[in-house]
A and B are shown apart, each in its own frame.
Chain A
Amino acid sequence: EVQLVESGGGLVQTGGSLRLSCAASGFTLADHWMGWVRQAPGKGLEWVADVKSDGSETKYVDSVKGRFTISRDNAKNSLYLQMNILRADDTAVYYCARDQGRAYESWGQGTLVTVSS
């Protein structure tokens, strides 16, 4: 069974940093692109970033470029999102998701990031 479990969320001050992790099981992580999608409280879904199966290519939404870094460690079956210079509008539930190319086929339960001054 495919499982994705996010961790690392919490309360952080404006301008601070946080590192999210996503532990993958039930499939071979190295076979898949992976992504992060976020959802602000009461709002819709927003794509954040994707990373290629071998980590050689990354893509970001403009609003996080230069502040967030997506990475992976296939040997540890883990996906990461390093978030720096956090702003109030980064407050959201962050989901990791397995990218099948056609769609995000599997999702984690999400981890809440709250940015407050």
Chain B
Amino acid sequence: EIVLTQSPATLSLSPGERATLSCRASRSVSNYLAWYQQKPGQAPRLLIYTASNRATGVPARFSGSGSGTDFTLTISTLEPEDFAVYYCHQRNDWPLTFGGGTKVEI
């Protein structure tokens, strides 16, 4: 099983600041890495697929990078609606796995 480790667990920032979230895989997942955003009481929302491609309707302030074992989700300028939990997810091998999440809080 590929283990995804997200860091930090919590990121305390203010609106307007830049957020950098990390996801590290226990072995290579090539570029088969996705990122999701989840707000309280809501289903996850796809942000990024294949490491760096924004999903439909996702603002340009969200960007993804990386390949192999190290990946980054960057939010260039935090908006109030961006405070949420973010999960990475690997699609390279079964079983599919998710990281433990990073909470971006004010």
Contact = CB atoms under 8 A, between A and B. Distances in A.
Nearest to B100: A44
B43 interface: yes
Contacts of B50: 102-103
Contacts of B44: 37, 45, 95, 104, 107
Q: Which of A50, A100, A102 gathers the greatest number of chain B CB atoms within 10 Å?
A: A102
A108 B42 CA distance: 9
B59 interface: no
Interface stretch (B13-21, B74-82, B91-99): B91-99
Contact of B98 (A45, A102, A107, A108): A45
Interface residues of A, number: 23
Interface in B55-105: 55, 87, 89, 91, 94-101
Contacts of A100: 49
A67 interface: no
Interface string A98-113: 0011111111111000
B43 A95 contact: yes
Interface of A: 35, 37, 44-47, 50, 59-62, 95, 100-110
A60 B96 CA distance: 9
Q: Which of B50, B53, B95, B99 gathers the greatest number of chain A CB atoms within 10 Å?
A: B95
Contacts of B11: none
Complex A-B, nearest 8 residue pairs according to Cβ-Cβ distance, in ascending order: A103-B34, A103-B49, A107-B43, A47-B96, A102-B49, A45-B98, A44-B101, A61-B95
Nearest to B34: A103
Given A102-B91, A103-B34, A46 B98 contact: yes
A103 B89 contact: yes
Given A44-B87, A59-B95, A102-B53, 10 more contacts: A37-B44, A44-B98, A44-B99, A45-B38, A45-B101, A47-B95, A104-B46, A107-B43, A107-B44, A109-B43
